[in-house]
Amino acid sequence: MKKSLVIILLSFLAISCKDATNPVDPVQNGIDYRKDFNQVWSSYDSLYPLFDYKKIDWQNVFNSNVEKFRQLNSVDERNQLLLNILKVFQDEHIYIYPRG
């Protein structure tokens, strides 16, 4: 009896498992890193005073990067992409300090 129960439980377990290497749409998991990008972009858009002086087309930065955030799978990937985007400022005082 115990052996049958163990076999049945293991069968259910084997059937219910998914291959971990299957790509998953992050938006389907409830994680949409575009929201994070929108928040960062909007904050800089309203607060950063030197776009004209540095000749930065901030709207173009948004347009060319927003969909990249949909493809991300982790916070580390999000942070790396944000760091790469913020390099457009060429300003060592701008950085990302992730919550810990």
Q: pLDDT tens digits, residue range 19-68?
A: 544 454 555 456 889 999 999 999 999 999 999 999 999 999 999 999 99
Apex CA 84: angle with CA 46 and CA 89, to 5°? 45
How many angstroms separate the CA atoms of 41 and 27, rounded?
20
Q: What rounded mean pLDDT belongs to the chain?
A: 80
Question: Taking the domains of the chain in order of start, what are their residue ranges?
Answer: 25-100
Residue 93 has pLDDT above 60, yes or no: yes
**CA Rg value for the chain:** 22
Question: In this structure, what DSSP letter does residue 22 have?
Answer: S
Q: What is the mean pLDDT of residues 73-88?
A: 92
Residue 3 has pLDDT above 70, yes or no: no
pLDDT of residue 97: 76
Angle between helices 75-86 and 34-47 (to 10 degrees): 30
